[in-house]
Chains A and B, each alone.
Chain A
Amino acid sequence: MVNYNKNLQKNLWAGFFLFPSLAGLLIFMIVPMIASLALTFYEWDPLIPTRFHFLGLQNYQTLVKDANFWAALRHTLYFIAGYIPLVMASGLGVALLMNQKLAGRTFFRGAFFMPVISAWVAVALMWSWIFNPKFGIVNYLLSLVGITGPAWLFDPNWAMPAIILTSVWKDTGFIMVLFLTGLQSIPQEYYEAASIDGARAWPKLLHITLPLLSPTAFFALIISLINSFQVFDQVWVMTQGGPAGATTVLVEQIVNNSFRYGRMGYAATLSWVLFLIVFLVTVVQARLQKNWVTYE
């Protein structure tokens, strides 16, 4: 009984201290999320806030038939297919390199992390110029080796690759930091034991480092997947979905429908469908992880 009272008191205190952040979460996240779910059954124009028109499932029917939605979904998946393997590989590569005892290691770690903390708008504008078909450095360098570079952001086939490369450049540092912490949590004894058994660098990497990094890799993969389904800033600044709609993505459709076309109900529907997709992908990932993730 005394124990129970003590526990209750403890919980009350915890609740008291948690209240400010919980209230914020409730008001700014939970309530709007539920409201947006309700909105998917309505037509609602934020310019006429008092008029709600009940549609039932019509927004969902519209979505299934909406060619713009399917194009945006296709482009988003294309982005993910290019971005995820590249950013994971470059993040891991840089982390392995930065884990060596190199001169100026601290500086380089910071340098690789800088794009992560830079504003997307600045990064996207900078890369727009780097990819500029006339004045950009990429096509200049290509011309030095006799290649006529594509028009990148102005070419429907090359705009998405350019956006993928930009995103990989920006996020490599983030993945690197995750892998670095993963690397540093691997006990040195394993390597010592392997050395005693005569293992060289490559087998050590293959049989000790990579398996023991797999929990980190799993985390990095989930985070990157969730983020990349929501790809938006770089698209909005670099191409605005162009040329000719070649880089429209899901979040961009949501922004257009809600803030430009006044179709908030439909935009909410798009948001919830995006949420369901991300949710399903994450659940599948979590199921699959036991096949490849090794815990110590």
Chain B
Amino acid sequence: MSTKSIFVRAMAFWLLFSLLLAACAPAPAATPQTVIQTQVVEVPVKETVVVTNEVIITPTPEPTQPPEPVEITYYTFSAAPDHLEDLDQMIQHFQAEHPNITVKVETAPFNDYFIKLQTLIAGGTAPDVFELNYENFVTYAEKGLLLDLSPMMSVDSSLDPAIYYPRALQAFSYNGMQLGLPATFSTVVLYYNKDLFDKAGLAYPSADWTWQDAIEAGKQLNDPANGVWGLHSGVQFWEFYKKAAQNNCRFFNEDKTEVLINSPECVQALETMVNMVKTDKVMPGAAEMGGLSDGDLFVQGKLAMDVTGIWMFSAFKDAPFQWDITVEPGMATKATHFFANAAHVFAATKHPQEAYAWVKFFTSNPEMARIRVASSWELPALNNPEYFTDYLTQTPPANRQAVFDSLEFAVVPPVIGRQSEMQDGVNNLLQQVMLDQLTPQEALDQAKTLIESLLK
């Protein structure tokens, strides 16, 4: 009896423990979180009057007939985990103006986001509004999954498209249709640990640095005794398209008829990248990082320079040392990332007007922009210097101007319809170079064949 009850208790404890472990773990893709999409009230929306593709919007509901309560779902990756409270605040503001609309938030980490989105759409439970990054936008636009917002925008006197940052707005137009409104844009900069530079007696990085300068400084900042590395700039798809551009190389030509990824400039750019680990030894390889991210290492003071996105400002805010940013080093020329995220309305949503109202409010309302700026949740994609003044006066980092300086050199990522396959394939080849299974030239020759087959 007693051994049995101990056994039962032990089992119960173990079950609980493994549940706990599973709950604490970052949700992996293998176990997509259950999505509960309960419609609170299932009432049909007020009939929208469609006149030759134009949706007429009734700006103020008739006072005698209160608007039907509607729940829309907003699916996002950029809000979690750091900005969920900011998003809640935004929704509260929205609901103050639109008391009949409830916005339900669903999130997934970036790596699992698109698997879940595709499954939701295929399963007929697509969110009404979802976030897409520019790279994945084309895949969804090509397949006709995004509602054209232009008809609603053209009759909406309260929205002037000129308030958006033109480049970001333009990025999400496709064949003359506005298939989403830009919410944020961001770029990647060089972060540096001032304390480590001071300790080594080196001058801080400046905007006119080349990678050669950074690597030389990195060699002096390397401090194996304390586990400190000179720099980190990931060997992966996004870093590579950008470094290729710094060396005047593009993955393919403008109309995607010719793949150029194995041209000498691209090969040279890749060699510079992998040599930071292999020959210059200023950057830790995957095994040496032991499963930690570059951001983890930087915030622990184990990395003197880190090339990463401006979305890390909030994560680095409380680092126990002085740090600042500058424009990323270049090669033959300067090139930086242009990342933009937009909010899109699902083409088959039951609530196009409510969804549009949320998209518009979320991307253009001044209060939203202020919340964004205050929490360093990337940059609002709005063409209004006022917000940026607020943004610039915040610290850290002191040199926020570098964000805007960087955007002067921004290069949009290479995008094709079969984007995930291209990214996975190129990433796999880059890893093979890191593991000495392929030379940079061999890898990029294979990448060319791969991309050609994906463009067919």
Contacts and interface: CB of A to CB of B under 8 A. Distances in A.
Contacts of B28: 121, 236-237
B14 A259 contact: no
Contacts of B139: 262
Contacts of B424: 256, 260
A47 B288 contact: no
Sorted from nearest, which 3 A-B pairs have the closest CB atoms? A134-B290, A46-B122, A151-B287
A107 B114 CA distance: 44
28 contacts: A46-B118, A47-B122, A47-B143, A106-B3, A106-B4, A107-B6, A107-B10, A114-B11, A117-B11, A121-B22, A121-B30, A122-B18, A129-B291, A132-B290, A134-B288, A136-B290, A151-B286, A151-B287, A156-B435, A232-B30, A236-B29, A244-B428, A244-B435, A245-B428, A245-B431, A260-B424, A262-B118, A262-B139
A233 interface: yes
Nearest to B285: A154
B contact patch SS:
helix
A111 interface: yes
Interface string B289-308: 11100000000000000000
A111 B143 contact: no
A102 interface: no
B121 A261 contact: no
Given A111-B10, A118-B18, A151-B286, 12 more contacts: A47-B118, A47-B122, A106-B4, A114-B11, A122-B18, A135-B290, A236-B30, A244-B437, A260-B114, A260-B420, A261-B420, A262-B118
A110 B8 CA distance: 9
Given A232-B30, A233-B30, A119 B21 contact: yes
A48 B143 contact: yes
Contacts, number: 110
Nearest to A154: B287
Nearest to B21: A122
A120 interface: yes
B115 interface: yes
Chain B interface bracket (under 10, 10 to 19, 20 to 34, 35 or more): 35 or more
B122 A49 contact: yes
Nearest to A264: B122
B455 interface: no
Chain A interface bracket (under 10, 10 to 19, 20 to 34, 35 or more): 35 or more
B418 interface: yes
Interface string B115-140: 10011011000000000000000011
Interface string A231-259: 01100110000111100000000001001
B227 to A, nearest CB: 9
Interface in B259-294: 285-291
A188 to B, nearest CB: 23
Interface in A147-171: 151, 154-156
A205 B255 CA distance: 73
Interface of A: 45-49, 104, 106-107, 110-111, 114, 117-123, 125-126, 128-129, 132-136, 151, 154-156, 232-233, 236-237, 242-245, 256, 259-262
Contacts of A114: 10-11, 14
A104 B6 CA distance: 11
A163 to B, nearest CB: 14
Contacts of A46: 118-119, 121-122
Nearest to A135: B290
Nearest to B140: A47
B7 interface: yes
B25 interface: yes
A156 B291 CA distance: 15
B14 A118 contact: yes
A241 to B, nearest CB: 8
A295 B420 CA distance: 53
A242 B431 contact: yes
Nearest to B438: A244
B161 to A, nearest CB: 28
Contacts of B18: 117-119, 122-123
Contacts of A126: 21
B58 interface: no
Contact of B434 (A107, A120, A133, A244): A244
